[in-house]
Amino acid sequence: MSRSPSFSVKSELSPTLDPESLQQWVVAFCVIRFDLEQGQLIEECYPPRTLTQDEELEIAYSSFPDSVSQHHNRSSIHDCMFFFRFRRRQKSKPSNGSSSEISEAGNEAGSPKPPLNNNVSNRQGRSSNDDSRYIYGFVFNRQRHDERLKRGGEQKSVVILSHSPYSSVFRPLLQIMGPLYFDIGKKALEHIAAYVSMWPSPAPGTLMELPIGNAALKVNLPPAHSLPLESGMLLEESASSMAPLLPTNQSVPQGLFHDSDIFGIFRGILLQLWVLWELLLIGEPILIIAPTPPQCCEAVASLVSLVAPLLFSVDFRPYFTIHDPEFAHLNSIQEGHAFPPMILGVTNIFFLKSLRNIPHIVSVGSPSPNSNRLPFSSRSTGRIPGRAEGFGLQQPLSLKKFSPSNLLNAVKLRREGPLCLMTEHKEAIWTTYTAITKPDTSILNRLIDAGMSPRVEESMSVVNNEILRRHFLELTTNFLAPFGPYFRTTTPSEGTSPFVDPPPLPPFSVDEFLRNLSARGPGKFLSKRMKSNWLDLYRRFLKGPNFMPWFQRRRMVAEQEQQRIWKQARMKTEIQEFISEMSEVEVVDSFTAIEKHLRGEIQLQESGKGIDDSAATCSKLRGDLQAIFDILPKDMQELLVMNPQTAALLDFSS
């Protein structure tokens, strides 16, 4: 669709809110007004009493641009959309005196990680990247200039709060909800919340059709392997999402923010994407500065999407302000001390002075001309046509022209440093990091210059984004491929018992991995695109914040897959044929092994965690256990049933 879905409110047809179902998608809907005398004020929060007072304050400060746009006529309306992300605190008093339960899980993304052991065991704990401690706020901001109003205008934001980074859902939902609120007021929040509470549970990695009034959002959710673990539960994901396999279906997203406009926002510095990819891979801190919140958010989201299918474990803030509680800590970091791994998107040039210790600074976008356009949204959902705010650069695409003047300008930018942005905004990157990966000119040459037409530019951006996203997906997948053997599962071989525990996954040693990789080489794909010191990139990756959470997660998925394979083998085993070739000792060992598996399945059922075939599995294992018991010597049978728990599993009463 080229336009946002329409929405009409009919009270007699509106569904009833289901608060528990709503929480699967949304924490709350808020409306925040900017009062020129009192500051940011939350006018509405629905459902009520879902946020603490501290959270309300942080949301209010994050829901407005740093300053009202000055690029519009005095009677105009200017809408923009962006999003922010903040960390939830420990339990504190909720707003309006209600109780608010805030999950307190392990280490969060971007926090100092434990030192990397030289050997990684085959059984790992849960990932340190737990997003239950983060909230995403998706903002529809309206600035209205009217000389008849006090101080010449007003500013309000409609905000969707969620634990999930589902930009492909909440952007088009905001395109419906934002204008609707300004038409009918609080009723819009109640009606939208009721419809959202009717949605099925999120199904990561799938195309979902989500009804909203008389419209429907068709959206692709990011895959399970790109989402963090929540509440200790492992999202259902397939081992096939592992490197080194590239996805066969290109329409299925492979990471977060697959709807972001990489080409549009980085168009002026496309040659630097490979430098940024490496910085993201190894978890270096990056400051993104742009003229407007939509542009800095788009840049941060695009960078996060650049390393798919890697689980990105660095803390990222699409729109960061000086009011964030963590600003004081970041501002106090002394010169010479390491900056924590973070990606910060900002619009306030004050950060150039206050965060001098951040080693990599990227400037993107351009000051917005007169426009009331909304930023790009998901291609698979409704999108307001036209150029996104500040996304389209006026100069033609020029990737191969390296003139002396261009070289002089680059040298001048480097010499002036990022503080030159205090006087004039320019698209550039400042870093002392030397990239190992070479820009792929064949990819750049395939990109299409969209020209000046907004409609043509939008369609060409879709094509260019597909080219760029496919390339970096292939680049990341090939980079992760050498780790594949450590996630390789085994199946029971012919003549061996499927009832014994499967063998552990291969142990991982950093030194051994690097030694073997150095001898083997990076493979054809990477060897063509990387310099001779390519092994240094692996060393940095192994020490960085992304490796351990990703490696642990993949090991857990591989172990889960191996357990599933061996369980299938047990279900297919004909027990009578199996035991006919066994010695008495092997028969007894098999009885013990089957009993252990049966107890495990029963415990899963009793805890409510059993899967669909648990009942069939229990029935099969009970039959196998009884078959083995029946052929045991009488004295052995009597000894076994002395244990009442064992006797309860058998058709035998003592």
Mean pLDDT of 94-108: 35
Same domain, 637 and 510: no
- What CATH number has the domain bearing residue 46? 3.30.450.200
- What CATH number has the domain bearing residue 498? 3.40.50.11500
Alpha-carbon torsion angle 275, 112, 483, 306, nearest 10? -30
Q: Which two tokens stand for residue 310?
A: 């890697």
Q: Which two tokens stand for residue 26?
A: 């949304």
Question: pTM of the predicted model, to two decimals?
Answer: 0.83
Same domain, 430 and 460: yes
Q: Which two tokens stand for residue 463?
A: 């094509």
Q: Determine the pLDDT at residue 40.
A: 84
Average per-residue pLDDT for the chain: 80
Contact status, residue 378 vs residue 170, Cβ threshold 8 Å: no
Q: Which two tokens stand for residue 551?
A: 């490696």
Rg (CA), the chain: 28
Whether 62 has a pLDDT exceeding 70, the answer reads: yes
The one-letter amino acid at 549: P
Same domain, 424 and 508: yes
519 part of a folded domain: yes
Residue-wise pLDDT for 213-252, tens only, equals 888 999 999 999 898 875 344 455 555 444 445 555 556 7
Domain boundary among 572, 592, 624: 572
451 versus 175: the higher-pLDDT residue is 175
What is the total count of domains within the chain? 3
123 part of a folded domain: no
Domain boundary among 221, 239, 262: 221
Q: Is the peptide bond prior to 244 cis by the omega test (within 30 degrees of 0)? A: yes
231 part of a folded domain: no
Q: Determine the pLDDT at residue 111.
A: 35
Same domain, 337 and 477: yes
75 part of a folded domain: yes
In angstroms, the CA 100 to CA 91 distance is 7
Q: Which two tokens stand for residue 320?
A: 């960061």
90 versus 165: the higher-pLDDT residue is 165
Hey, CA dihedral for 517, 520, 522, 527, is it positive or negative? positive
Residue-wise pLDDT for 558-587, tens only, equals 999 998 999 888 888 888 888 887 888 888
The one-letter amino acid at 228: P
Residue-wise pLDDT for 362-403, tens only, equals 999 987 654 443 443 333 333 323 322 322 233 334 444 445
Contact status, residue 197 vs residue 18, Cβ threshold 8 Å: yes
Same domain, 293 and 438: yes
Domain boundary among 542, 572, 602: 572
163 part of a folded domain: yes
| Bridging pattern class, strands 119-120 and 508-509 | antiparallel
Same domain, 158 and 74: yes
Same domain, 568 and 615: no
Same domain, 188 and 54: yes
In angstroms, the CA 85 to CA 165 distance is 9
Q: Which helix (H) or strand (E) holds 343?
A: strand 342-346
Nearest-CA neighbor of 281 among 55, 538, 587?
538
Mean pLDDT of 586-597: 88
Q: For every residue of 59-86, which 3-state class applies, written as one string?
A: HHHHCCCCCCCCCCCCCCEEEEEEEEEE
Residue-wise pLDDT for 102-127, tens only, equals 223 333 333 333 334 444 443 333 33
The one-letter amino acid at 274: W
Same domain, 550 and 580: no
Same domain, 534 and 583: no
If one counts every other C-beta atom within 10 angstroms of the C-beta of residue 147, the result is 9
Query: Residue 611's domain spans which residues?
Result: 574-650
385 part of a folded domain: no
Same domain, 353 and 490: yes
Nearest-CA neighbor of 232 among 316, 136, 131?
131
557 part of a folded domain: yes
Same domain, 560 and 579: no
112 part of a folded domain: no
Whose structure tokens read 């064992």?
Answer: 646
Q: Work out the angle between the directed axes of helices 273-282 and 534-543 (0-180°, nearest 10).
A: 40
Q: Determine the pLDDT at residue 422.
A: 86
65: left (phi over 0), alpha (psi -120 to 50) or beta: beta
